[in-house]
Chain A
Amino acid sequence: MPFDPLIVVAVVGLAVISLVAIAGATSDDIPGAPDYFFTRQLVYFLVGALVALVFWRIDYSRLREIKVLCYGLLIASILLVTAFGSVARGSRRAIDLPFFSFQASELGKVLLIVSLSAFAVEMTRRSADRRVTARLLLLGLAPAALVMLQPDLGSALVYVAITLTILLIVGVPWQHFAAFGALTAVAVALSLLVLPAVGVNVLHDYQKERLTSFLHPSDVTGTEGYQQNQSRIAIGSGEKTGRGEQATQTRYDFLPEHHTDFIFAVVGERWGFAGAALVLSLYALLIWRGLRILTLAKNLYGALVAGGIVAMFLFQVFVNTGMTVGIMPITGIPLPLMSYGGSSLIASMIAVGLLQSIYAQGRKAASGKGRVLTIQ
Chain B
Amino acid sequence: MMEAGDSSLLRPSGGPPVAPQMARRVAILGAIALALFAVIFLRLWFLQVLTGDQSRREALDNRVRSLPLAAPRGSILDRNGTPIVENRVATVLTLDPKQLPAKTRADANAWGQEMTAWLKEPRRTRGTAPPVPPPATPQVAQRYRRLAGVLGISAAAVNERVVRQLAQLPYANVAVKVDVPSSVRNYLLERQGEFPGVSVDQAYIRRYPGGVGAAQVVGAVGEISPDQVGSDEFRGVLSGGTVGQEGMERSYDRYLRGTDGTRSVTVDANGRLKGQRVSREPRPGNSLRTTIDAGLQKQGEAALASAISGAGTAGAFVALDPRDGKILAIGSAPTFDPAERARPIATQAEYERRFGEAAGAPLFNRAIGGSYPTGSIFKPITALAALEAGLITPDTPINDPGFLKVGEQTFTNAGRQANGTVSLRRALQVSSDVFFYSLGRDANPLEGQVIQTWARRLGLDRPTGIDLPGEAPGTIPDRAWRATQNRREIAWEKRTGKRCPPDCLYSDKRPWSVGDNIQLSVGQGDVQASPLQMAVAYSALANGGAVVKPHLGAAVESVTGRQIEAIKAPPSRKVKIDPTARQAILDGLHLSTVEDGTSADVFRDWDQDRFKLYGKTGTAERPPRPDQSWYAAFVNDPARPIVIVATVEDGGFGAESAAPVACSMLSRWYRQSASCSPGGSRTR
Contacts and interface: CB of A to CB of B under 8 A. Distances in A.
A277 interface: yes
Interface in B3-56: 3, 5-7, 9-10, 14, 17-18, 21-23, 25-26, 28-30, 32-33, 36-37, 39-41, 43-45, 47-49, 51-56
Given A236-B54, A314-B36, A254 B62 contact: yes
A252 B47 contact: no
Nearest to B27: A291
Interface string A304-333: 000100110010011001100111000000
Contacts of A310: 29, 33
Interface in A233-272: 233-240, 243, 248-249, 252-254, 256, 268-269, 272
A303 B1 contact: no
Given A287-B33, A365-B1, A303 B22 contact: yes
Interface stretch (A74-82, A92-100, A164-172, A184-192): A164-172
B325 to A, nearest CB: 60
Interface residues of A, number: 60
Interface string A171-202: 10000000000000000000000000000000
B268 interface: yes
Contacts of B29: 165, 168-169, 291, 307, 310-311
B269 interface: yes
Given A252-B266, A252-B269, A310-B29, A237 B1 contact: no
A142 interface: no
Given A168-B29, A291-B30, A296-B17, A236 B7 contact: no
B9 A171 contact: yes
Nearest to A368: B1
Nearest to B48: A273
A273 B49 contact: yes
Given A124-B7, A125-B7, A276-B44, A237 B269 contact: no
Interface in B258-285: 266-270, 274
Contacts of A268: 44, 47-48
B48 A327 contact: no
B59 interface: yes
Interface string B122-137: 0000000000000000
A272 B25 CA distance: 35
A294 B385 CA distance: 121
A169 B41 contact: no
Given A125-B7, A300-B7, A325-B43, A169 B26 contact: yes
Contact residues of A: prevailing secondary structure: helix
A4 to B, nearest CB: 16
A67 interface: no
Interface in A34-89: none
B52 A366 contact: no
Q: How large is the interface on B (under 10, 10 to 19, 20 to 34, 35 or more residues)?
A: 35 or more
Contacts of B37: 280, 283-284, 287, 318
Nearest to A124: B7
Contact of B55 (A236, A307, A322): A236
A248 B49 contact: no
A237 B55 contact: yes
B63 interface: yes
Given A236-B52, A277-B44, A291-B29, A299 B3 contact: yes
A294 to B, nearest CB: 6
A210 interface: no
A126 B643 CA distance: 123
Nearest to B40: A321
A88 to B, nearest CB: 20
A109 interface: no
A374 B23 CA distance: 18
Interface in A113-171: 121, 124-125, 127, 165, 168-169, 171
B264 to A, nearest CB: 12
B602 to A, nearest CB: 76
Nearest to A310: B29
A356 to B, nearest CB: 18
Interface in A274-308: 276-277, 280, 283-284, 287-288, 291, 294-296, 298-300, 303, 307
A212 B191 CA distance: 49
A133 to B, nearest CB: 14
Contacts of B102: none
Contacts of A318: 36-37, 39-40
Contacts of A294: 26
B47 to A, nearest CB: 4
Contacts of B232: none
A234 to B, nearest CB: 7
Contact residues of B: prevailing secondary structure: helix
A300 B37 CA distance: 27
A327 B45 CA distance: 13
Contacts of A171: 7, 9, 21-22, 25
Contact of A248 (B3, B18, B63): B63
Contact of B62 (A233, A238, A303): A233
Q: A232, A272, A300: which has the most chain B beta carbons within 10 Å? A: A300
A204 interface: no
A232 B47 contact: yes
Given A236-B55, A248-B59, A369 B14 contact: yes
B2 interface: yes
Contact of A239 (B10, B25, B28, B56): B56
B190 interface: no
Contacts of A300: 2, 6-7, 10
A127 B6 CA distance: 12
Contact of B274 (A249, A252, A273, A325): A252
B121 interface: no
Given A169-B22, A249-B62, A239 B14 contact: no
Contacts of B53: 239
B48 to A, nearest CB: 4
Contact of A237 (B3, B23, B32, B52): B52
A232 B55 contact: yes
B268 A236 contact: no
B408 interface: no
A303 B17 CA distance: 12
B58 interface: yes
B678 to A, nearest CB: 75
A284 B40 CA distance: 11
A230 to B, nearest CB: 8
B266 A248 contact: yes
Nearest to B18: A295
A280 B40 contact: yes
B267 A252 contact: yes
A168 B28 contact: yes
A254 B49 contact: no
Contacts of A314: 32-33, 36
Contacts of B274: 252
Given A232-B47, A365-B1, A254 B269 contact: yes
A239 B40 contact: no
Contacts of B59: 233-234, 236-237, 243, 248-249, 254, 269
A26 B508 CA distance: 88
B44 A273 contact: yes
B438 to A, nearest CB: 90
14 contacts: A125-B5, A233-B62, A236-B51, A238-B52, A288-B30, A295-B22, A298-B2, A300-B2, A310-B33, A322-B39, A322-B40, A322-B43, A325-B44, A365-B1
Given A171-B21, A237-B52, A327-B39, 6 more contacts: A28-B268, A124-B6, A169-B22, A252-B266, A280-B44, A295-B23
The 7 closest A-B pairs by CB, nearest first: A236-B55, A239-B52, A252-B268, A237-B59, A124-B7, A273-B48, A253-B269
Interface of A: 28, 121, 124-125, 127, 165, 168-169, 171, 230, 232-240, 243, 248-249, 252-254, 256, 268-269, 272-273, 276-277, 280, 283-284, 287-288, 291, 294-296, 298-300, 303, 307, 310-311, 314, 317-318, 321-322, 325-327, 365-366, 368-369
